Amino acid sequence: MTTPTQVPAQLFAGDTWEWTRDLADYPAGTWTSVAYFEKVDGNFSVAGVASGTTHTFTIAAATSAGYRSGNYRWRLVVTAAGVRTTAEEGYVEVLPDPAAAGNVDHRSTARVMLENVEAYLRDPGNLRAASYSLAGRSLSRWSRADLIAERSKLQAQVAQEERAEKIRRGEHVARYQTRF
């Protein structure tokens, strides 16, 4: 297995995480490094270990198992001779541990909302869908016209999410243009 040379875009909680960074302006041995990961309900950090001039970051599987899933902003901070600077920054998505996830709902918020709106439009007596709240109102309190308009917005959002996922997986995404 090849060790990534940057923070991966996605990581699974419960896996061993390892990556290296060869920062020409901040060589390990001269500069120390710490990667900070931040989100509203959970932060963590990992110190880099010098391997020649390369910074190596490793988080044990037992440690990552305790991290909450979600999108984190990360910052790579380097320090030397009293100077501290952010060398790099970006985002990483921490995914739930598949071995411990159980019945985790992996659908996006837009997908959940779309499915509930469609279920209610098909059957207004569907108590499960009717009890779902959207923008502070249960579906049973929306007019049919408002729900249809909301469904159109959600369909577009879900389609955009699906295109982004295909691109992330390296699949071809067809684009059609129509002129009138």
Give residue limits of the domains in the chain.
10-95, 109-168
For residue 14, pLDDT over 80 is answered with yes
* Its pTM surpasses 0.75: no
For residue 11, pLDDT over 90 is answered with yes
The encoded tokens of residue 142 equal: 């929306």
How much is the pLDDT for 31?
Answer: 97
DSSP secondary structure, 148-175, as one string: HHHHHHHHHHHHHHHHHHHHHTT-----
Closest CA to 109 of 157, 60, 65, 144: 157
Q: What mean pLDDT comes out for the span 10-20?
A: 95
DSSP secondary structure, 28-93, as one string: BTTBEEEEEEEETTEEEEEE-EEETTEEEEEE-HHHHTTSPPEEEEEEEEEEETTEEEEEEEEEEE
Give residue-wise pLDDT tens across range 85-127.
Answer: 999 999 999 988 888 866 667 778 888 888 888 988 888 877 6
In three-state secondary structure terms, 120 is helix
CATH fold group of domain 10-95: Immunoglobulin-like (2.60.40)
